[in-house]
Amino acid sequence: MDTILKTKSVTYDLSKRTHIMGILNVTPDSFSDGGSYTTIEEAVKQAIEMEKQGADILDIGGESTRPNHQPVSIEEEINRIVPVIEAIKGAVNIPISIDTYKAETARRAIQAGATIINDVWGAKKDPEIAKVAAEYDVPIILMHNRTNKNYQSLIDDLKDDLLESVDIALRAGVKKTNIILDPGVGFAKTATDNLVVMNHLEDIVAMGFSVLLGASRKSFIGHILDVPPIERDNGTGATTCIAVQKGVQIVRVHDVRRNVELAKMMDAMLAGGIAKDG
């Protein structure tokens, strides 16, 4: 399995340690941080802070993906994200990912400075997005999603669904080394389904692609802990720890500092390295 994540600005060897993607939503209605970073100044300040805290990638989204979210037009989404990407690109040194399933939004984001595409529909909602990834030679994250929860065998069906996304990407000309898989925790899955997926992350890792987990502050954590989204960072930390143990290379989180420390500690313990006394 190739574990090199190569962007236009930075190349990461994902086999060396767990990498952290920080979430930066420039939306008024995202379930956790909606409305917090809707001005360019607020977004740039948060981006700089996330880089200081150890984020390896910044994931910028202009449309909420929470359940029952209000869809926005391509024009509105582009107007939200392009000025922010342009401003952040000049303020940080880490790669920017665009969280969108729309090909034109992805194209405009890349032209503005994004170097990774993160598609919550795995190139199935708008297959042209895979052609954009191929044209600009950028990594694309293909997340598992579907319009129903009718699984015959959850993990087998999930893998089959992901392979359909992989096929779309490869046929569009995306290099295999530019494909990252995301099991889609929190999407088209019950709370129990999400726990099953978390317990079988190694099966996704075994598919031969780099894997990203995006479980931060998701509802299944709230279902277990009975806390609102803003209070789910400890629960998120638990998902990060099991993800590291099962071989996931990238975790997408809201609370960067906490998860950087947790991942670093997990990496050290799993490697069996010797820490300094004290």
Active site residues: 218, 252
Q: Tell me how far the alpha carbon of residue 249 is from its chain's centroid.
A: 11
Distance CA 59, CA 27 (A): 13
Q: Amino acid identity, residue 102?
A: K
Distance CA 259, CA 240 (A): 7
Question: Coil, strand or helix: which one is 6?
Answer: strand
- 148 exposure class (CB count in 10 Å sphere: 0-12, 13-18, 19+): exposed
Number of Cβ within 10 Å of residue 160's Cβ equals 12
Question: Coil, strand or helix: which one is 150?
Answer: coil
Backbone φ and ψ of 75, nearest 5°: -60, -45
Is the distance from CB of 120 to CB of 101 less than 8 angstroms? Answer: yes
Question: 155: closest CA among 194, 212, 129, 120?
Answer: 194
Q: How many helical (H) and strand (E) elements, i.e. helices and strands, does the chain have?
A: 10, 10
